[in-house]
Structure 1
Amino acid sequence: MRRRPAPSKTRPDPLTAAGIEYIDYQDTDLLRRFVSDRGKIRSRRVTRLTVQQQRAMARAIKNAREMALLPYASGTNR
């Protein structure tokens, strides 16, 4: 059987590293970093956010979509 590789050092989440404590739905520059080019919310594994931060980010993105600050979907041809 193979040995498991040693766990790599965990990278700090981007919000803590940037010193951001409150996620505001009006800060579209920040929110766009956590949305894919298709308009989907990126997963925690990709963004490295904590559970609480991911929930707050998802809520802020959904609020921004409702207020027409972010698109629901982009790049679709329907």
Structure 2
Amino acid sequence: MIDVNKNIERIRLSKGITRKFVAKKCGKTQQWYWKVEKGLIIPDAINLQLIAKALDVDVKNFFEEKLNETLNKQLA
């Protein structure tokens, strides 16, 4: 099973972006975004797109099982 919330967190951390920044870019509270990363809230497609835009990645990266390979291919 793919843990979308964990992939979102990994991407954010790899880019050195704060939760506060992502929440603000999405027009949400920090608490809301924290719950997304912890898997307590499952964001809908619109909110996933907002998060992807804030992190400057394609939303499909959230669903990749081999996240590192995907990110490395994008950077190449």
TM-score (norm 2): 0.25
Higher helix share: 2
